[in-house]
Every structure is written in structure tokens, then in C-alpha cells.
Amino acid sequence: MLDAKHKVSYIVGMNKLPTHKRVQILSMLCEGSSMRSISRVCDVSINTVAKILEDAGKVCMTFHDEKVRDLRSRRVQVDEIWSFCAAKQKNVATMKAPVDFAGDVWTWTALDADSKLIVSWLVGDRDAHSAHVFMRDVSARIGRRTQVTSDGLRVYVDAVDAAFGGFVDYAQLVKKYGPAPDGDRRYSPPECVGATKVRISGRPRPEDISTSYVERSNLTLRMHNRRFTRLTNAFSKKFDSHVNMVALYTVWYNWIRIHKTLRTTPAMAAGITTALMSFEDVVALIDAAAPKPGRPKTYKKKAPANPA
């Protein structure tokens, strides 16, 4: 067993961990383990786990951006899921050590209802600006007229219209909620007592106006990310780490994880690949993106030796 000092020197001295160790770390990150538990199980420094997550997040963002294009999605469902960074919004003003972007963090996701592919995601606020940026990205990835369904959040109306320019069949599923259960007002959501289907633009098919798939996808996102787990101290301490984890999760969900209903990956079901991806492939992407060692651009002059 290596102590903390040797753990750090191992990763620094070797420049990178063996592939199987990095695969184990990435796999545990996507199975809901906290960074400190991964550090203990894999016998590495927590700084090592953070660095691998950072590297994986960057390459996964690029990979998703390049590969998920020209989709033939017929039905797209969009939704938002809440979490927080560093502190809950109500406690941000009294933080002893303020952190950039502390407070509520919303992850916007768009899901292809047929292939279960995560079409697009965005981490930001739950406001009009984030909605416009998010829906523009969704529109840019779909190569045909599609039907979009969202919840009743008002900012979607202008965002969808601006992103698709009217070339979309858009509807909202507006849910109605009753009072919170007695004794559970703090943690339990109120009961949904009904829902209304509202056509916004185009000719959406009534039977396809639903957000069930994207809501179930968001449940998977919460279950497989320790940062999203409620009532724990495993929440994101840094905004960038939160974004990197969502990027890694998206590639895992789309390209690596076998969907139990489809019996294949969403990427294969969507027709954008015929090959099953693995965490070894993610590690290979990290290695390919790493800067290559080269000769130093400057040299320090040595002092002349004293004559004998």
C-alpha cells in the first residue's frame, strides 16, 4: 500500500498511470463512486483522480461535439436537472471561502426518444440565455424536421422558435402538482395530479407529446453521478469539475453503456456508429490529445569551470 506522498510521486514520476488503472478510475466515476472512495479503492491520490477526470472531460466534450451531428431524430425531448456547486444558492452569500459559479447549477439535456441518444447537453443557469444557447446546439445537430417536447418552462418558447426558425413541431407538456405530502415537505416532490398537452408551433403528434424518456434519462444521470446525489457531501466543489463529469457521463451513456431495452448503445441505435466503445478508447483519446514531449526552447547557460 502506497502512502499519500508516494501516490503523488508515482503519478508525477511516471507521467501517467497504466491504462487499466485509468480505466478503473473512469469506470468508477460513471458508476456513482465519489472521488475520495475512488482514491482509496484504486490506491491513488485524489489529485490524480481529479486530473484524469479533467483530461477525460475535455476529450469527451470534443468527441461528442464532432460525432453527434446530422441526426435523423423524429422525436426529441428536453428537460433540466438541478444540482449545486460549492454551496446551495441560499448559502452562497455567507460562504467563508467564495467560489466562482457557486450555487444552483442546472444541466439541460436533449434526448432522442427513439434511440435514447443524448443529443445535446449544457450546464448553466435555468434562464433564457442558457435556453437559447442549448436549443441552438440541439438544432445544429439534427438534420431533419423534428418534433420537440419540453416541460412548461416559459423560456423554451422563444428559444425553440429562434433555434429552429419555425421548422419544427413543438409542444409542451404542462404538469399540474398538488400539495406536498404531510411531513415530507422538504425532500419529497409534490404529487403530479395531471398534465396538459399544449401545441406551440407546427403540427406535433399528440401521441408523441411526452417527456417520460428524458426524465428517466435524467434519473440515470443522477444515479450514476455522485455529484448529483442529494443529502450528501459529494456535491461538486468546482464548476469545471461538474462540467467535465457531465461530459464523461454523456460519452459513457451514448457510446459505452448497453441500454437494457435497446440491447445496444444509443449511438449504435442512432446509426452514428457500428462499433461498441470502451473506456480503453477514452484513455486512447486522452493520450492522443496529450502534448508530446519535445526539446526545451531555452537552455540555461552553465557557469564556466574554474581553471585548475
pTM of the predicted model as reported, rounded to 2 decimal places: 0.87
CATH number at residue 232: 3.30.420.10
Sheet of 192-201: strands edge to edge? Answer: 118-124, 103-112, 75-85, 147-150, 169-177, 192-201
180 pLDDT higher than 80: no
- Residues spanned by the domain of 150: 4-289
Confidence at residue 14, expressed as pLDDT on a 0 to 100 scale: 45
Going by pLDDT thresholds of 50, 70 and 90, the confidence category of residue 182 is low
| DSSP letters for the chain | ---HHHHHHHHHHHSS--HHHHHHHHHHHTTT--HHHHHHHHT--HHHHHHHHHHHHHHHHHHHHHHS-SB--SEEEEEEEEEEESS-GGGGGG-SS--TT-EEEEEEEEEETTT--EEEEEEE-SSHHHHHHHHHHHHHTB-S--EEEE-S-THHHHHHHHHHTT-SEEEEEEEEE-PPPTT-TTTSPPPEEEEEEEEEES---GGG---HHHHHHHHHHHHT-GGG-TTSS-SBSSHHHHHHHHHHHHHIIIIISPBTTTTB-HHHHTTS-SS---HHHHHHHHHHHSPPP---S--PPPPPPPP-
**What is the percentage of the chain residues whose pLDDT exceeds 90?**
76
Total domains, the chain:
1
Going by pLDDT thresholds of 50, 70 and 90, the confidence category of residue 112 is very high
Cell 425532500, located at residue: 187
Closest CA to 253 of 117, 65, 87: 117
Least confident of 144-158, 182-196, 255-269: 182-196
Going by pLDDT thresholds of 50, 70 and 90, the confidence category of residue 7 is very low
Instruction: Answer yes or no: is 298 within a domain.
Output: no
Instruction: Answer yes or no: is 57 within a domain.
Output: yes
Instruction: Answer yes or no: is 295 within a domain.
Output: no
**What is the percentage of the chain residues whose pLDDT exceeds 70?**
87
- pLDDT tens per residue, range 64-85: 999 999 999 999 999 999 999 9
What gap in Å lies between CA 162 and CA 123, rounded to an integer?
Answer: 20
Instruction: Answer yes or no: is 133 within a domain.
Output: yes
191 pLDDT higher than 80: no
